[in-house]
Every structure is written in C-alpha cells, then in structure tokens.
Structure 1
Amino acid sequence: MPDRRRAERSVSERPTTDRAHDAVLRHIEDSLRSGDLRLGDRLPGERALAEQFGISRASVRDAIRALEVMGIVRSATGSGPNAGTIVVSDPSSALGSALRLHVASQRLPVKDIVEARVMMETWSLAHAAAAPWEPAQLAEPRRLLEAMDDEALPSAAFTALDAQFHVALSALAGNAVVSTMMDSLRESIRGYVDEAVLAHGEWHSIVEELRRQHRGILGAVEARDGERAARLVREHIEWFYAQTL
C-alpha cells in the first residue's frame, strides 16, 4: 500500500511540475519579448515565483533546474553579483549536451552529424566571402592556429582548439543561428573523435596534416575565396572523419 500511495502521489504531482515549468518558461519568454527582462537579469527568488504562479517552491526548483539544463538560466547559491538565477540564454551549450547524449545512445549516427556539420560549415565559409567582417576578426583563428602548432599539445587539447577554430571561422558569415547549430554539432562528436584518435594510434601523422589543412582553409578565408574555402573545409572534415573510422 505505501508504494501504491507513493506512485499515486507522484502521478498527481507530475502535472504541477510540468505546469510550473511551462509557466516559468512562458514568463521568461514574454518578459524577454517585451523588454521587461534582459540577458544578465536575475529572476525573483523561489518564494516570489511560487507566490506569483501559485505553485510550491519545490515545483519552482524543478522548473529552474529544467530551464538550466536548457541553457536559459544559470543558478548559483550564496550572495554577490553572480548569485541567484540569472538569464543567460546559452543555446549552443544546451543543444550540444542534448546531441552528445543522442549520439552516445546511437540514436543520431556520427556519420549523419558529420554530414550536417559539412553542410553548415561549407555554407558558412562560402557566405563569409561576401560578409562584412573586418580583418581584425581573423586574429582569433590565427591565435588558435599558433596554439595548435605546439608539438607537446595532447590530442584532446588540440581537438578542443580545433573546435574553436572552426566556430570562429563560421561566425564570419554573420548568421547567429548557423553558428550556434554548427558549434553544437561539432561539440556533439568531440568525445567520439577523442576516443577514436587515441584508438587509432597514429596521432602524430594525423595532426601534421590537420595543421596543413587548417592553414589552407584560413588562407582561402583571408582571400575571401568562398568557393575554395568551402571545398577545403569539406575535404578537411571528411578526411578527418575517415581517419577515425
């Protein structure tokens, strides 16, 4: 009987939590649209939100945790400017985490993720050729290339810098949605890439070719040769994926 009562209580409480999540999410969305709430603003405390929506503080905590997983808010305990629940809106982190789990579950094949990444990056570099970016914006990808030239750099550190390099170049197209999705796609297979590289056992020969390819891609972007940049990044991604099979 106690187990049955717990199950019945769990079922009866579930809609309340779901409604709490929806109500808080709608509140944040409406407030952002109206300008009443901006990125960096702090949400009211648990008690105030519970009273505002007519729900329990436990339901508010569940809703905040769900929103934090979605990358909409960041919560921190204690006092000071970073404490409380702050609106941050970090979609690439949320999407990347979700995609990593689906890749791990084999629901999303790595091959399909790589193909989607090729589409995103070739589009980005092709459009970057005519986008209004300033030459100074290439300072970050150049810095990343220099960091990747370190012969003592572990493979996992190299692939992390590699991800930043691709994101920095793709951002030159000026499309925030594409940049966010591309970042998420790249991050979703980093674990797979790191494991495959270690298993391959020939990292030193791979990394030298990656450096050469990176320099070629950057050179095409600097020359605003979108067609060549798109072709090189496609060959680069597909070559690297083939090495990890």
Structure 2
Amino acid sequence: MTEQSRRSYDLLLENIEADLRSGAISLGDQLPGERTLAETYGISRASVREGIRILDAMGVLRSSSGSGPKSGAVIISEPSAGLSSALRLHMASRRLPVADIVQTRILLETWAAAAATDLPPSDAADTALAGAAALLEAMDAPGIDREMFHELDTRFHVALSSLAGNAVIETMMASLSGAISGYVRDAVDNMDNWPAVMTQLQRQHHGIYDAVASRRGDEAAALLREHIEWFHAQIPREEKTEGSDER
C-alpha cells in the first residue's frame, strides 16, 4: 500500500467522522455508493473500498452486498467489536500480555461495582440486574457445557459493569472480555478439574451478585477482584506464558 493510498482512505475516514459530528449522517443512515463517495471526497473508488473495509472492522458501519435499504454501507455503532479485534491481534503478537489485560479488567470491574452504588435506582439498573440474575440461573443449569458457561460468564460480567452507567467502561469491558475470550476458552477446555472450578465460580458469582444487588459496592469490588484473580490462578503457568508472554 502506498503512502498516497493511505492518505486517500484516511480522508474518507476523516470526512465520515466530521459528518457524524455535525449530524449530516446518523446511525442507521446508508452511505452513498462508491462512485458518489469518490466524487464527493475527491479520492479513488479503490480508496473508498479500503476505507469502508476499515470502518466495517472498526464497528462504525456494516457493509453488505445487494440492493435495498439494508444493503451497501450502513452506519452502525459497535465500538467493542473493533476494540476487541485490535486487542486480540496485539495480544497474539505478544505486545499486550494477558496478565496486563486481566489487571485492567480488574480495575474497570471493581470501579464499576463501587460506582454503581452511588447512582440512584433506575429502570436501566433494574433491567441490567434482572439480566444478570437470568445469566446466573442459566450458568447453574445441570449439565451445562464449558463453552456455554464461558459465554454466559462473559455476559454476566459485562452486565454488572453496565450498572455504573458509564458507556465507555461498559464498552471497554466488553472489548477486554472479547479480547481474552479465546485464551480463557482454551484454558477452560484444558482444565482436568473443571467441575470443581465451575462449582467455585458459581458460588463466587452468586456472592458478587448479592453484594451488587444489595448495593454493597466495596464488598462487590473486593469479591470481583478475588474472583478474577482466583480463576486466572487456576490456569497452568505454561498456558499463561504461551498466551501472554507473562513478565
């Protein structure tokens, strides 16, 4: 890729950002076709295609073929998708150790648990708590397999983080969880003592939920830290080193 083509698709990204800021385009809007975008921004159609692919990967738009209102490039907003992908790639390169991702997750989750108690009750919080309770019930189902437990576990933690009412924290939590999802899934699949580990995780989840629901923020934060650190301590050291370049 040449420097000129890089500057060209950057121009598209900058103009899309400016149009979003100004309100010229909004969520759900369909972008014009390649030819129109190229003419509007004075760049080649190849640069337009490259810019659209990047915005798609970033979770800013959804691109699909065909015709009709749902075809072409439609403005969306899924920030955690793009962040998760970027984090996973940098973790794979050993640039971002899993241990650091886990520590960041602890910081965010414990802050969110404590901050949630300072907010007045709301319908949104009640909905999030109800969702977390449903996830707990699903994780307690007899015979639940490892993959489903892991998926529900991830959603449970993101749901709790949403109680702080901070969209950036919630997005970052979803991104961090997505970034280490493969690492955690592999670890869970290789645990010979998984039934005992799962039982302990279930107990911990219920304790965390009870503290959050009762608005005992400091206790919830302490339990979350203990829970996350305990689980990662169960992962064999060789897997940590291979997956994280742990320092």
Give the TM-score normalised by structure 2: 0.90
User: Aligned equivalents of 1:128 and 1:59: distance in 2?
Assistant: 45
User: Aligned equivalents of 1:26 and 1:104: distance in 2?
Assistant: 29
User: Aligned equivalents of 2:200 and 2:131: distance in 1?
Assistant: 21
Q: How does 1:53-202 map to 2 (within 5 A)?
A: 53-132=41-120, 133-134=122-123, 135-202=126-193
Q: Unaligned regions of 5+ residues in structure 1, if any?
A: 1-9
Q: Unaligned regions of 5+ residues in structure 2, if any?
A: 237-247
Aligned to 2:37: 49
Amino acid at match of 1:236: H
User: Aligned equivalents of 2:69 and 2:202: distance in 1?
Assistant: 42
CA distances 1:69-113 after superposition (whole Å, capped 9, x unpaired): 122111011123321101112111100111111112221111111
User: Aligned equivalents of 1:182 and 1:228: distance in 2?
Assistant: 20
TM superposition outliers: structure 1 runs of 4+ over 4 Å = none
1:33 counterpart = 2:24: no
User: Aligned equivalents of 1:213 and 1:205: distance in 2?
Assistant: 13
Q: How does 1:184-223 map to 2 (within 5 A)?
A: 184-223=175-214
Percent of pairs with identical residues: 53
What's the C-alpha RMSD, in Å, of the aligned pairs? Answer: 1.3
How far 1:34 sits from its partner (Å)? Answer: 1.0
Give the TM-score normalised by structure 1: 0.91
Contact 1:17/1:63, CA 8 A, preserved across alignment: no
Aligned to 1:236: 227
Higher-Rg member (1/2): 1
Q: Which moved more, 1:111-120 or 1:54-63?
A: 54-63
Amino acid at match of 1:27: N
User: Aligned equivalents of 1:131 and 1:81: distance in 2?
Assistant: 40
Amino acid at match of 2:232: Y
